[in-house]
Structure 1
């Protein structure tokens, strides 16, 4: 290989690296922008549901609505319909928050909601910052997330029948750890180019933030009781 070929290969590599970095930055920027919009939209719907004292849709409708809209979002993530279903999903989840917030604020419990909001924001910023700055490979979290998901499903189903406050507290703590790991894993996947679809990334981060907030409300409510 002569000098000209070597320089040509170097220039090609630099061009490809630059394009890859631009693509990564674009996915990260679009993800955070869409995440901010969906969080604001969800908060608006939650506020309206709380003010109007709308009833909670119930466990079954919540599960069917969530997974149905999640499926439609992922199925259409590469088209404009994906954005529509993202806002339908986050709006629906915001609606489910309204009655929960009303219940949590009964008897002057607004401090619990504000504490949960602050804790959720802190958890998101800390985990995101760590994933963005660390040089450690977090791909090992993929297996842990899969195992954790199965454990959480089993624990939630068991607690439907057992209704044990201690188990509820443990499940909430596990959800916080699981969701924090999901935020770190997804964020680093975006940075490393493993996640190239900002709609999928947004949904993962949104659901993680939602779970952390609900889990903190549960934990603070149980300890307050």
Structure 2
């Protein structure tokens, strides 16, 4: 990235062209991310509010102690589909195309959106909306920081990825322990980790744009993968913040 900058340091016109290209590239990523969030929201409403669809994915049992919400067999498949898609793509998409990356993005968005109906069944609509706007504001600030900072954030990338792996292990353990205290600790760590990932991924996308050197095919693929990374960060930050800001039905 430094070598790239030095190569263009003598040409103001070229700098302006590169900056315009970078802005166009990032705008494409953010537009796809925004559309993905809209689709997810619509699917979440459909799977939580349309009885015929809701009953295919979720089970709702009302007792004297309150409502108990679970997953049907199909609901379990939808819940774990994003992980299967993401891990599968690591082995199957060795030389990804823009079409393949786009299909992966929308498949992940659709499965996560459908599973988010569970969130709307557990938490009040008002608290979900409030948490979403808090997440959006935090995402905007963190992404802007990643885009504008001169500090190299690559050093924290591997640390954050290891943090995600640690979170997954802790969540699996807590499935058996059912400890509220551990869940709050996991949520607090999740907020910090995915906040860092938003800034890191944004800066990484800038570096990717420079590395592609105007390759339109590569940028089309990177737009989809960039939107996917930021979408996953956004959704995870939203869900972890719900542990602190969400009010249960």
1:174 partnered with 2:189: yes
Please list every run of 5 or more consecutive structure 2 residues that lacks an aligned counterpart in the other structure. 1-6, 59-70, 212-218
How many angstroms does 1:69 deviate by?
Answer: 2.4
Q: Distance in 2 between matches of 1:125 and 1:11?
A: 29
1:115 partnered with 2:130: yes
How many angstroms does 1:68 deviate by?
Answer: 2.5
* 2:170 paired residue number: 155
Q: How does 1:69-84 map to 2 (within 5 A)?
A: 69-71=85-87, 75=93, 77-84=96-103
RMSD: 2.9
What count of residue pairs does the alignment treat as equivalent? 212
CA pair 12-187 structure 1, distance change in 2 beyond 3 A: closer
> TM-score, with normalisation over the residues of structure 1?
0.81
> TM-score, with normalisation over the residues of structure 2?
0.74
1:198 partnered with 2:223: yes
Q: Deviations over 1:15-46 (max 9, x none)?
A: 87566545433321210111111111111111
* 2:216 paired residue number: none
CA pair 77-20 structure 1, distance change in 2 beyond 3 A: farther
Please list every run of 5 or more consecutive structure 1 residues that lacks an aligned counterpart in the other structure. 1-9
Q: Deviations over 1:70-121 (max 9, x none)?
A: 246662742313212311210110111112212212xxxx332122112211
Q: Distance in 2 between matches of 1:153 and 1:99?
A: 19
Q: Distance in 2 between matches of 1:33 and 1:18?
A: 22
How many angstroms does 1:167 deviate by?
Answer: 0.7
Q: Distance in 1 between matches of 2:132 and 2:9?
A: 47
Q: Distance in 2 between matches of 1:147 and 1:218?
A: 22
Tell which deviates more after alignment, 205-214 or 52-61.
Answer: 52-61
Q: Distance in 1 between matches of 2:97 and 2:22?
A: 17
Q: Distance in 2 between matches of 1:68 and 1:154?
A: 17
How many angstroms does 1:191 deviate by?
Answer: 2.2
CA pair 171-79 structure 1, distance change in 2 beyond 3 A: same
